A and B are shown apart, each in its own frame.
Chain A
Amino acid sequence: MGDFYEDSRVSVRICALFPDRMNLYGEGGNLKILCRRLEEMGCLCRVDCYEGEEPAPNWMDYDLLYLGSGTEEAQQAALQLLFDQSEALADYVESGRMFLVTGNGTELLGHSLTTRTGEVLSGLGLADFQVEQTDRRLLGDVVGRYVGEEMPQIVGFINCCGTIKGRVETPFAELSFGKEWSNDGIRAAEGYQKKRLIATRMIGPLLVRNPQFLEQIVFWLGEEKGVTPNEPDRKSAPWEAYRRSMAGLSERMLMHNEK
């Protein structure tokens, strides 16, 4: 019976949260490269956009939600527009579906967000931390080990003004370079994970810059869908770019350590 549907591709549904407001650091690239990779695997990829101007969809219809970075104003607008979805999003995360967050989108996930003017906003409550923003911008390259599956190190860049208060027991990465840009600026922990809620304060095209992590994401999505990813082309441009980025940052790490 299954043969009848053999030709029809497995569909993966993605919802981009605030793709206009929260697209400050090239975040759009993440979904482009993710869809391309899923299509290479034989999946059909559909991306819906949620800008908060329309009624919220049923999140359970999606296999992956994605939230990126924005200005502090955009970030607060996104929080306000998403706030009444807190419970629905918590259910979504509890169900084990994937929610990828990059950049200062991560700052919305905790219990509270204290803005630069000292206003305390309630967060989405998906993660066990508080965030405090200041006038000091945290800017810099980072390299870290993904906390979870074994894979080559993650490269990224932090560009935000918030510090995470409270110890995160399940970070996204342990930073080996750029520790001053970690969650609290002291320990190596960066980002947050719970089930398949994967949140890093690293900005921009995280999946573009880290094809090894893109493979992990499509592996998980494939696992849900019963699709095994084909071997990626490790000679392709993103892999080559990753190696060069890693080499450049390793040089800086050495210089840094010598100091």
Chain B
Amino acid sequence: MKRFLVIWMVKLLYFAGNLLGKGTSLPGGIALKICPDILKRLKLPKLVVAVTGSNGKTTTVEMIARTLEKNGLRVAWNEGGSNQIEGVTTLLCRRANAKGEVQADVCILESDERYARHTFSYFTPTHFVVTNLFRDQMTRNAHPKWIADLIGEAISEKTTLVLNADDPLVAKFGKDRPGTVYFGMAENIESTKEPVGCYQDHAFCPVCGQRMEYEYYQFAGLGKYSCFGCSFVTPPADVLVTDYDPVGETIEINGTDRIRLAFGGRYFIYNLCAAYAVCQLAGISGKQAASDLSDLVQKNGRVAAFEVAGREGMLLTAKHENSVSYDQSLEYVSRQDEDMTVCILVDAISRKYFTGEISWLWDVHFEKLNTPRVKKVLLCGRYAFDLATRFSFTGISEEKIEVIPSLEEMGRRFYAEDGTKLYVITCFSDKDKIYSRVHALGATAK
């Protein structure tokens, strides 16, 4: 009876919240107060896939859900990105019938990497996808290894893991677990022999702590590694990118299925592999999954065009306190074959209060902007001088750099027509400070 009432309360609150434009975690939060083990009392479908990791959770979940839906499956997924226990509770109660049966063929649950252990103390997902573990919001998350330990607490022995083989910290979860599904990428035209970037998190074996050897790197410590201390190596991938064509923007999986990349750039590929793997686990053929994944257009584009006084611009969204996400945007910019002005806006690192913690700026590979095509660099926002200090070590000549702490001044500076295209890199949280000063033209697929 209690279960019945709680489910209906969530449905009602969700409906009301929707009308008021409120978030999706509140109904679940109330449900958990009334009935703390409500998640235990629900009957879940046969396939329940949790997705966690530092970067690309939302994208991966969205790709999986849309592909499965396209193939006629009923999918329950946390579309709004509410990925803590409250959001998951809202979702599952909302989709449950009076008997507590979740009315879906598959659940795809984006799970916050720190709180997954709470959610999954009430039920066990059949599959657990870990995309990657990078330095991310260390002011809350401590460090990737700390997060790996917390994720480890969320993983049940009964769950089948779907892991990024090329990320040693992630692949370690599959050690001595037969049946683990791995995805990875073979050496390709963009692989490097030496690590690129500002730090070496993956240089040491997560199992025994000894230095590892890499045959090649993809990016950010992902690649083909082997440890001489304990014989920990990149596990063979079940879903392997056998060919990557950066010009045609396609990949080939397992030598057969070719997928067109919805975004350019290799950072996206691992997410795509994870999605492909899960689609196969849900019974979709590799060929079908490849075809459907090729047609997906991401809604939350990271790259959006704008225009300001006739000047063309592009807004690239990164995440503050996440160097891999910044590196991804910097790589995109550095590959454009046109004269450009690059604006970096860091105005609010935390939405709640001011923090002085800027150590992550030293993890971002801003050196990538040291190219002849970059004519000007505008360092903007409250942290403009912290950026300026960091940039003084990039080798980019001082004449190219302008430090603009004021947002009004930044807006005015955008109007300066000097024949360059304007690229702006900032975080979701600071994005509106750009949009209020330019004319948005909408997201682009590339």
Interface residues of A (CB under 8 A from B): 20-21, 23-29, 32-33, 36, 51, 53, 71-74, 76-77, 137, 139, 141, 155-157, 159, 161, 203-205, 208-209, 237-238, 240-241, 244-245, 248-249, 251-252
Which A residues lie within 8 Å of B211 (CB)? 51, 53
Could you say which of A27, A33, A76, A139 has the most chain B C-beta atoms within 10 Å of its C-beta? A139
A95 vs B294: C-alpha distance in the bound complex, in angstroms?
66
Chain A residues within 8 Å of B206, by CB: 73
Contact B403 A71 (CB under 8 A): no
Q: Contact mask B185-204 → A, CB, 8 Å, 1/0?
A: 00000000000001110011
In angstroms, Cα B198 to Cα A167, docked, is 37
Contact of B209 with A by CB under 8 A: yes
Closest A residue to B140 by CB, please name it: A139
Q: Which residues of A contact B198 (CB under 8 A)?
A: 28
Q: Are B138 and A25 in contact (CB under 8 A)?
A: yes
Instruction: Kindly identify, within residues 378 to 400 of chain B, every residue whose CB is under 8 Å from any CB belonging to chain A.
Output: 382-383, 385-386, 388-390, 392-393
Q: A29 and B139 in contact (CB under 8 A), knowing A73-B209, A241-B385, A241-B388?
A: no
Q: Which residues of B contact A159 (CB under 8 A)?
A: 138-139, 142
- Are A208 and B389 touching (Cβ within 8 A)? yes
Residues of B within 8 A of A28 (CB): 198-199, 362
Cα distance, A249 to B356, chains bound together (Å): 7
Task: Write the chain B residue with the least CB distance to A160.
Answer: B142
B402-439 Cβ-contact flags toward A at 8 Å (1 or 0): 01010000000000000000000000000000000000
| B257-279 residues at the A interface, CB under 8 angstroms | none
- Indicate whether B123 reaches chain A with its CB closer than 8 angstroms: no
Q: Of B142, B146, B209, B362, which contacts A29 at CB under 8 A?
A: B362
B142 interface neighbour in A139, A141, A156, A204, Cβ under 8 Å: A139
Q: How far is the CB of B394 from chain A (nearest CB, A)?
A: 11
A244 to B200, CA, bound (A): 31
Among residues of B, the one whose C-beta sits closest to the C-beta of A139 is B139
Instruction: Provide the bound-state CA to CA distance between A25 and B209, in Å.
Output: 19
- Sorted nearest first, the 8 A-B pairs with minimum C-beta distance are A204-B359, A26-B359, A26-B362, A248-B354, A241-B385, A237-B388, A245-B356, A25-B359
B199 / chain A contacts, CB cutoff of 8 Å: 23-24, 28
A213 to B394, CA, bound (A): 23
A252, chain B: closest CB distance, angstroms: 6
A contact residues around B388 at 8 Å (CB)? 237, 240-241
Considering the complex, which residues of chain B in the window 113-160 have a beta carbon less than 8 Å from any beta carbon of chain A?
Answer: 138-140, 142-146
CA distance A51 to B145 in the complex (A): 20
Q: Does B336 have its Cβ within 8 Å of any Cβ on chain A? A: no
Q: Is A32 in contact with B393, judged by CB distance below 8 angstroms?
A: yes
Structural contact, A71 and B145, CB atoms closer than 8 A: yes
B10: interface (CB < 8 Å): no
A-B contact pairs, 8 of them (CB 8 A): A20-B203, A29-B359, A29-B390, A203-B359, A205-B362, A241-B358, A248-B355, A252-B354
Q: Are B355 and A157 in contact (CB under 8 A)?
A: yes
Whether A77 pairs with B209 at a CB distance below 8 angstroms is: yes
A111 to B356, CA, bound (A): 32
Q: How many Å lie between the Cα of A203 and that of B356 in the bound state?
A: 11
Residues of A within 8 A of B382 (CB): 244, 248
Given contacts A74-B204, A157-B357, A249-B356, A237 and B362 within 8 Å (CB-CB): no
A81's nearest neighbour on chain B, judged by CB, is: B209
Interface residues on chain B, size class: 35 or more
**When A and B form their complex, what is the total count of cross-chain residue pairs whose Cβ atoms lie within 8 Å?**
109
Would you call A23 and B200 a contact (CB within 8 A)? yes
Among A26, A53, A139, A249, the most chain B Cβ lie within 10 Å of the Cβ of A26
Rounded to whole Å, the gap between the CB of B393 and the closest CB of chain A is: 5
B358 A209 Cβ-Cβ under 8 A: yes
How far is B382's CA from A159's CA once the two chains are assembled, in angstroms? 23
For the complex formed, measure the closest distance between the CB of A47 and the CB atoms of chain B, giving whole angstroms: 14
**Does B332 make an interface contact (CB < 8 A)?**
no
Query: How does the 8 Å CB contact mask read for B350-381 relative to A, with 1 for contact and 0 for none?
Result: 00011111111111000000000000000000
Contacts of A26 in B (CB 8 A): 358-363
Q: How far is the CA of A28 from the CA of B144 in the complex (A)?
A: 18
Q: A159-B138, A248-B354, A251-B354 are in contact. Are A237 and B359 (CB under 8 A)?
A: no
Identify which of A74, A139, A237 gathers the most chain B CB atoms within 10 Å of its CB.
Answer: A237
Residues of chain A within 8 A of B360, CB atoms compared: 26
Please give the distance in Å from A29's CB to the nearest CB on chain B: 4
**Nearest A residue to B363, CB-CB:** A26
* Cross-interface CB contact of A71 among B143, B355, B385, cutoff 8 Å: B143
Q: How far is the CA of A259 from the CA of B209 in the complex (A)?
A: 45
Residue from the list A76, A203, A241 in contact with B386, Cβ < 8 A: A241
Contacts of B139 in A (CB 8 A): 139, 157, 159
Q: Evaluate whether A141 and B138 lie within 8 angstroms (CB atoms) in the complex, with A71-B145, A237-B392 already known.
A: no
Residues from chain B with a CB closer than 8 A to the CB of A237 are 385-386, 388-389, 392, 403
Tell me, in angstroms, the Cα distance from A241 to B389 when the chains sit together: 8
In the complex where A141-B356, A159-B139, A204-B362 touch, is A73 in contact with B145 (Cβ < 8 A)?
yes
| Minimum CB distance partner of B362 in chain A | A26
Contact pick for A244, options B146, B385, B390, CB 8 Å: B385
Q: How far is the CB of A220 from chain B (nearest CB, A)?
A: 22
Determine if A248 and B146 form an interchain contact, defined as CB atoms under 8 angstroms apart: no
> Separation in Å of the A102 CB from the closest CB of chain B?
10
Chain A min CB distance to B225 (Å): 15
Bound state CA distance, A245 and B405, in angstroms? 13
In the bound complex, what is the Cα–Cα distance between A252 and B392 (angstroms)?
Answer: 29
Alpha-carbon gap, A36 to B392, bound state (A): 10
Question: A205 to B358, Cβ gap below 8 A?
Answer: yes
Query: Given A26-B362, A29-B362, A204-B362, does the pair A141, B357 have CB atoms closer than 8 Å?
Result: yes
Q: Of B146, B359, B389, B403, which is within 8 A of A238 by CB? A: B389
Complex: how many Å from CA A78 to CA B383? 33
Q: How far is the CA of A159 from the CA of B146 in the complex (A)?
A: 12
Specify the chain A residue showing the minimal Cβ separation from B203. Answer: A20
Distance between Cα atoms of A30 and B293 in the complex (Å):
45
Docked complex Cα distance between A204 and B142 (Å): 13
List CB contacts (< 8 Å) of B206-254 with chain A. 206, 209, 211
> Do B142 and A155 touch across chains, with their CB atoms under 8 A apart?
no
Complex CA–CA separation, A205 to B363 (angstroms): 11
Given A20-B200, A77-B204, A139-B140: A238 and B356 interface contact (C-beta under 8 Å): no
